[in-house]
Structure 1
């Protein structure tokens, strides 16, 4: 069984692994200042955000990456999946995005499609390595 990298329990894939890195709650002056120069609706800024932050998940093994990519592919193939809900922060939650655009992205599905496309390249070797293994042995 694939274990969560932080908890002693089974790993549960979630798309928040890709976008939770942009939460600046209680880090507005550090992480927030670093991220506020990027507009997530601009395709060049978005690609930089994804490469620099969403895919820079050193705490995930090559196996975790494959499981996450499979999960993301499944959600992208579901035409009814509400990607905007991932970016909605409940008033009772301790979380905030670095810029107003994050709360109402022009194309939240497109953001995650870009994550998928860029991860295919950035994680190519890890994904290949994991795909060659028997998942039952994890």
Structure 2
């Protein structure tokens, strides 16, 4: 699939849902805000997902949402998928998640909640994309 805004291939992964939590070079702003939440607490986790991960700030098409959603669905179906690896800090990258996120009790639960909430919030977009012939979409 081609990203219409960049003309580059759009190959989503579950990690895309974490980009909104990247505090690199924003530790005193976004970092401090996110530290008010405990991602191990179901109420806090849902607030994080709704306020950040699935907020209206997504500037992607309904087809991109569908592809992203399906990539998450596929990862969740894979019992061996390493969600923990998505949370680990890579010192070679200019990105970082809030303190303690790499020690989350069960990262899979975070992504299960994202999937559940996206199913509701993106329902219209997902139905629209599902009803289309995906072979007609722009692919690489």
TM-score (norm 1): 0.92
Asked whether the 8 Å contact 1:24–1:98 carries over to 2, the reply is yes
Give the alignment's Cα RMSD to 1 decimal: 1.3
Unaligned 5+ segments in structure 1 are none
* Partner SS state of residue 115, structure 1: helix
Aligned to 2:53: 54
* Partner SS state of residue 39, structure 1: coil
Deviation at 1:12, TM superposition (A): 0.3
Does the alignment pair 1:72 with 2:72? Answer: yes
Aligned to 1:119: 118
Unaligned 5+ segments in structure 2 are none
Aligned to 1:96: 96
Alpha-carbon distance in structure 2 between the residues aligned to 1:39 and 1:5 = 36
Alpha-carbon distance in structure 2 between the residues aligned to 1:83 and 1:7 = 28
Structure 1 outlier segments of 4+, above 6 Å:
none
| Pair 1:6–1:29, CA change in 2 (3 A) | farther
How many residue pairs match? The answer is 136
